Structures are given as structure tokens and as C-alpha cells.
Amino acid sequence: MRVVTAFKRMLRVEGWASVTDVSFDQKGVIVTLRLRKRRRRICSVCGQTGRHLEIVDYRIKRWRHLDLGVNRCLVECELRRLRCPDCGVRYEAVRWARPGSPYTRDFEDVVAFLAQQMAKTPIRRLMRIAWDSVGDIVTRVVADHLSEARFYGLVLIGVDEISYRRGQRYLTCVADHERGRIVWAKPGRDAATLQAFFEMLGDRRHSIAAISIDMSAGYENAIGAVAEADERFRPEIVFDPFHVCQLANRAVDDVRRADWNEHGKSKTKTGRWIKHVRWSLLKAPERQSQTQLARLAEVAATPTSGSTARSCSRKSSGCSTTYPTPARRPSTSTHGWHGRPAPSSNRSSSSPARSANTATASSPRCGRLEQRVPFILHLLVWLWW
């Protein structure tokens, strides 16, 4: 096999270009290509095609390709410069490189893949490019692979923020739960940031049935503002189970700590018992030791108080919204999503709240803790399911 034929197959230019020369110099391996004479005039920026694109001149352009062993590989080709009525004077489009890029598509795809696995500095050393070039390559690859089809058919979405740089800088990310991928992201984490996403969707937002968010008031206010302006937009708001359990665990620990201070902390027998109950109240039943399960059963054996609170306040966690507690929760939905199976009986039977409802014995180990903990445990189970 000839050398030019081998490079023609490696570069995958068969049918629309040919390899005319392969040379070696101080920069590496230089592969010279020649396009077909009869080819359409296509603007590399806007994609316009036709005879109205005037040929200005011819120039040789080079692109960096994947390395051949320890040698750099450069691809060069003589291209026409076209005068586009919208973009000005631009190079004609080629298949092996993206518009305005000094690298081939194969080279940029490898860099973009490495950017998902490691930081920019090791990529710079491995691919022997500039640090800023890594970000430019990622921008071009992402823009090339983004499609408007990702915004169609959204039913279950999730909204959350992620810190991407020092100094409290955040990105608001919107994920499609059904497809398991991020469909939109924008700097910021306030109501205006999320409202920009719904405004960009337009009528496509009517297909959204449920939105999972954390307990940030900004996201909730943004959904409410869009719902007020659009009567057809009525999604169900579902809170992240992590934050719900975090608030419930914090409430349980606040009550336990208050009783611990009231009973003399660790100076008394009752105070030491309350201190050791901490991990039994916060851990899942299936992860507790036998001693912790015994303590949890002793707390759950105390009957609940006669009055049951009807609301759950989030003021202790910095949120002033108060949500009413319904008298009965449907058993056909889990975590707020429609069509999900009901919780299994095994998991429900191990819940400490159900043990509290069926208990008949009482223990005089502590006062207020025995009265409030069973209700808080019941509230924790309700918030979870």
C-alpha cells in the first residue's frame, strides 16, 4: 500500500479529497490534501451555498491532527475564501474541521472527551496545546453536538445548582430525568435564572408534569411566577428527598439536644441516655446495631401525645414557607412522581413511626423527648414517602 493511500484512509477523506504529499520537517508530519475541483461553495460559518458567494482568493490553511507516535501531525489544504453577504470573507467549509478551528474534528473530539475526565493542565501537557485552547475546543464541540430536540418531550425535570468556581459562583442546571442527561445550564441560581429557561422553552414547557427542586425559595418562586402568567403550565413541585430528610433529621436533633440540656446534659443518667440516643434517631433502621435498635425501640414504645401538629415549619433552616400536613397521603405515588410503585410493606413495617403507633408500654426515661420524638419520627416518614 502506498503512503498517500494509507494516510487517505486514516484521515477518512475518501470520496471528497485526496492526499497529494506526505513530508517530514521540524514541526512534524505534514499531510497535504487537495479537494475536488467540482465542489459547491459553502460558507463555513452560516452554511450558505450557491454561486452568489464570490471567490476572493486561494490560501493554504493548516490544522493540527492527532499525533503520530511522538510526532505532531499537520493537515494542510488550499482553500477558497468566499465573500458571504452575511458573514463577510470566510474560508469555505471542509468536513475534517469545524469553522474557525485550527484543529481537526478528531483532535477536538479527543480533547473534549479528556476534559470530562481530568483538568485542563494535564490535557495541555498530554495533547501539547495551550491551556486556553482546551476551553475553546470544548466550547466548539458542545455547540456542535447541541440539538434543539433535547427541549422537546420534557415531562420530568430536575433543577439544581452546582459550584463551578471560587467565590460563590454557581450554575443552574436543568436535567431530564427520563433521559438521564442535562439539557440546559446557565450561570446563577436565583429566580430570574430559572425563569429564563421557561421563557426559552415557550410552549414546549406545557409538557412538563413535575419538577424536582431543592428547598431554595428562588426556584420555587420562579415556577410560581411562570405558572401565574401561563394557565396551561401547572407542574407538580417535588422537593429533593435529601433536603427533606436533612430538615427532618435537624428537627429531631434539635429536640434531643433541648432535652439533653434540660436534663443536666451528661451529668445525669437521663442526660447520658438522651445523648446516646442520637445515632439511633438519625440512622436508618437497617444500618443500626443491636444496641441502637434497642434504644430506638425504647423511644418508640412511648405513646404519642394527644394533640398532633398540623403543619411543618421550615423557619429553622432559613426558609419561611409553611406547608400544611394533609390528613391522608395516597399510597399510589412515591416521592411525588406519578406512576411510581407504592412503597413495599417490608420497608414500611421497619419504620419507627409505625412502631410508635402500635406500642402500649411506656418508659419514664425522659420527659419532653418521649412526647415529641414519636411525632417527629412520624413526620420524617411522611416527608420521605
Question: How far is it, in rounded angstroms, from Cα 252 to Cα 377?
Answer: 8
- pLDDT of 383: 53
Give the predicted TM-score (pTM) of the model: 0.58
- pLDDT of 178: 92
Question: What's the pLDDT tens digit per position in 301-316?
Answer: 765 443 333 333 333 3
* Pick from 260, 380, 385, 374: nearest CA to 307: 374
* Pick from 182, 228, 237: nearest CA to 208: 237
Burial class (CB in 10 A: 0-12, 13-18, 19+), 43: buried
CA dihedral for 108, 112, 114, 119, sign (positive or negative): positive
Q: Tell me the DSSP string of 32-62.
A: EEEE-SS---BBTTT--BSTTSEEEEEEEEE
State which fold the 153-239 domain adopts: Nucleotidyltransferase; domain 5 (3.30.420)
Q: Which three cell numbers stand for residue 298?
A: 425504647
Instruction: Please report how many Cα atoms fall inside a 13 Å half-sphere around the Cα of residue 59, on the Cβ side.
Output: 11
Alpha-carbon 96 to chain mean position: 32
Asked if 369 contacts 251 with a C-beta cutoff of 8 angstroms, the reply is: no
Asked if 335 contacts 239 with a C-beta cutoff of 8 angstroms, the reply is: no
Pairing of strands 210-213, 156-165: parallel
Which residue shows C-alpha cell 439544581? 160
Question: How far is it, in rounded angstroms, from Cα 323 to Cα 215?
Answer: 12
- pLDDT of 3: 81
- pLDDT of 321: 37
Alpha-carbon torsion, ordered 266, 268, 270, 276, to 10 deg: 30
Burial 215-240 (b: 16+ CB within 10 A, else e): bbebbbebbeebeeeeeebebeebbb
Alpha-carbon 24 to chain mean position: 46
Asked if 76 contacts 33 with a C-beta cutoff of 8 angstroms, the reply is: yes
- pLDDT of 271: 83
Alpha-carbon 366 to chain mean position: 45
- Alpha-helical (H) ranges within 116-237 are 120-127, 131-145, 191-201, 217-229
Sequence spans of domains, the chain: 1-96, 103-146, 153-239, 251-384
**Reduced to 3 DSSP states, what percent helix, strand and coil does the chain have, rounded to the nearest 5?**
40, 25, 35
- pLDDT of 128: 94
Instruction: Please report how many Cα atoms fall inside a 13 Å half-sphere around the Cα of residue 83, on the Cβ side.
Output: 5
Asked if 284 contacts 351 with a C-beta cutoff of 8 angstroms, the reply is: no
- pLDDT of 75: 93
- Phi and psi angles of residue 306, each rounded to the nearest 5 degrees, phi first: -70, -35
- pLDDT of 302: 60
- pLDDT of 262: 86
- The segments of the chain whose pLDDT lies below 50 read 304-370
**Which DSSP category does 103 fall into?**
B
* Pick from 225, 211, 159: nearest CA to 338: 211
β-strand partners of 289: none
